[in-house]
Amino acid sequence: DIVMTQSPDSLAVSLGERATINCKSSQSVLYSSNNKNYLAWYQQKPGQPPKLLIYWASTRESGVPDRFSGSGSGTDFTLTISSLQPEDFATYYCQQSYSTPRTFGQGTKVEIK
């Protein structure tokens, strides 16, 4: 199984500041035939299902604000929120869809500083 490890586990950020979350996979999730990384980012707020933010490591889902960006390739990935808004305080998960089981990272909770 591919193990997904996020860092940090939690992050305290002030409104308007940048937040950076890292995700590392135990093996590459880059599919060589199409040069795409099978890595997605989700946001989850209490009492709600997760919401897709980013797929293929860097493609924003329709309707997701452009302050959210994803980067990285192979085994190392980053989700950046450029200027935190009140609605961004939530838990964020990475997930690989390169192979089954489609494993998630343990989550990173973004809290108000």
| Choice between 50 and 72, CB closer to other proteins | 50
- For residue 57, which of 69, 44, 40 has the smallest C-alpha distance? 40
The structure tokens 């135990």 sit at: 26
Residue 61 interacting with other proteins (CB under 8 A): yes
Residue 56 interacting with other proteins (CB under 8 A): yes
Give the count of beta carbons closer than 10 Å to the beta carbon of residue 54.
23
* Rounded Cα gap, residues 13 and 86, in angstroms: 11
| Choice between 54 and 81, CB closer to other proteins | 54
Residue 42 interacting with other proteins (CB under 8 A): yes
Query: Which residue in 49, 63, 66, 87 binds other proteins (CB under 8 A)?
Result: 49
Residue 89 interacting with other proteins (CB under 8 A): no
List the structure tokens of 52: 């897709």
Point out which span in 18-26, 67-75, 76-84, 89-97 binds other proteins (CB under 8 A): 89-97
Query: Which residue in 38, 43, 68, 79 binds other proteins (CB under 8 A)?
Result: 38
Q: How far is residue 94 from each of residues 14, 23, 57, 79, 113, measured CA to CA in Å?
A: 23, 7, 9, 9, 23
* Rounded Cα gap, residues 80 and 96, in angstroms: 18
Site of interaction with other proteins (CB under 8 A): 1, 36, 38, 40, 42, 44, 49-52, 55-56, 61, 93, 95, 97, 100-107
